[in-house]
């Protein structure tokens, strides 16, 4: 046995020779408490790649090894496998998909919502989210915290009830659905029902996405509504955006649930098929939505 630098995480760790002259790296940041193998000659060939190519490939290889090791799988890589990682469906391409990897990790290492999971050497663990650097992982963590899917104290993490439900989707390989929400703009403040409805949507397997006039990726409100799996439009205050989003959803066959607070229904326009859920308290709205979403009833298709 000898020591060698892991190409993917830069840690100096013990290495032992395996079958067919492969090298087995033991206990680096790619595989804490485990090991992975490189086929004969792979180490040197990877080291000869250009620096930009290494910057592209090595964080992905580290993340892939970390995930496979955490799943208890044997890892053996060669040059071709490493070079194919950017095009692999195994590698998450979006921030949401990277967030799902962290949720899945927490789910595999806990028994129930609220069960604490300590991520040792957190500053060296951005491979848990397939991130290129620590800053990207911190962004993912804060996003999950804001969505109330995880709780964090230092290096200790736990899943909330909603995070547990979404994590089970991630672990099973199923894709969470997106629920777009649109409501009257009150100076950027969330409506009073948000604290009850957003966690409920997460528990029902939806990722809540509040519609904005323009997203960072350039999509308009109409495009966001058309791309959702479900649209929840609260008509309290008669927000014009809700009717625009509904029209876009109708054109794409997206199911729509309309809601309106008690007292606001009389001011709604008389449109064919417009039968919103009338609610008085957020708890009441949450209970009705749970019955609608959790009962397996077919949601009404618009159009």
CATH of the domain at 247: 3.40.50.450
What pLDDT is stored for residue 273 in this prediction?
60
- CB-CB contact of 36 with 72 (8 Å): no
- CB-CB contact of 158 with 113 (8 Å): yes
Pick from 87, 110, 135: which residue ends a domain?
A: 87
Contacts for 220-223: CB closer than 8 Å, 24+ residues apart: 221/182, 221/245, 221/248, 222/247, 222/248, 223/248
- CB-CB contact of 293 with 269 (8 Å): no
Are 101 and 71 in the same domain?
no
Rg (CA), the chain: 23
What pLDDT is stored for residue 154 in this prediction?
94
Q: Of the segments 81-90, 92-101, 117-126, 265-274, which one has the largest average pLDDT value? A: 117-126
Domain assignment present for 299:
no
Are 204 and 245 in the same domain?
yes
Pick from 172, 199, 232: which residue ends a domain?
A: 172
pTM of the model: 0.61
What pLDDT is stored for residue 38 in this prediction?
96
129 burial via Cβ count (<10 Å: 0-12, 13-18, 19+)? buried
| Pairing state between β 256-261 and 277-279 | parallel
Give dist(CA 119, CA 126) in Å, integer: 10
Domain containing 45 equals 2-87
Place of tokens 């777009």: 180
């Amino acid at each position: 046995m000898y020591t060698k630098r892991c190409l993917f995480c830069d840690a100096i760790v013990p290495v032992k020779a395996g079958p067919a002259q492969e090298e087995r790296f033991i206990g680096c940041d790619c595989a804490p408490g485990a090991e992975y193998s490189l086929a004969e000659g792979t180490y040197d060939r990877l080291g000869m790649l250009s620096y930009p190519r290494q910057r592209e490939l090595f964080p992905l290889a580290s993340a892939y090894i970390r995930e496979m090791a955490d799943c208890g799988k044997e890892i053996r890589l060669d040059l071709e496998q490493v070079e194919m990682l950017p095009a692999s469906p195994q590698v998450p391409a979006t921030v949401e998909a990277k967030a799902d990897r962290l949720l899945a990790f927490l789910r595999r290492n806990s028994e129930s919502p609220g069960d604490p999971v300590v991520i040792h050497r957190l500053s060296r663990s951005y491979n848990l989210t397939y991130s290129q650097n620590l800053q990207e992982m911190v962004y993912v963590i804060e996003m999950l915290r804001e969505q109330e899917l995880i709780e964090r104290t230092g290096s200790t993490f736990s899943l909330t009830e909603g995070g547990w439900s979404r994590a089970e989707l991630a672990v099973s390989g199923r894709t969470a659905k997106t629920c777009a929400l649109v409501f009257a703009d009150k100076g950027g403040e969330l409506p009073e029902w948000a604290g009850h409805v957003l966690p409920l949507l997460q528990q029902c397997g939806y990722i809540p996405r509040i519609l904005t006039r323009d997203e960072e990726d350039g999509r308009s409100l109409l495009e966001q509504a058309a791309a959702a799996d479900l649209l929840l439009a609260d008509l309290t205050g008669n927000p014009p955006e809700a009717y625009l989003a509904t029209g876009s959803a109708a054109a794409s066959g997206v199911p729509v649930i309309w809601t309106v607070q008690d007292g606001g229904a009389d001011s709604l326009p008389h449109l064919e098929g417009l039968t919103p859920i009338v609610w008085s308290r957020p708890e009441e709205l949450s209970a009705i939505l749970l019955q609608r979403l959790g009962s397996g009833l077919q949601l009404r298709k618009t159009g």
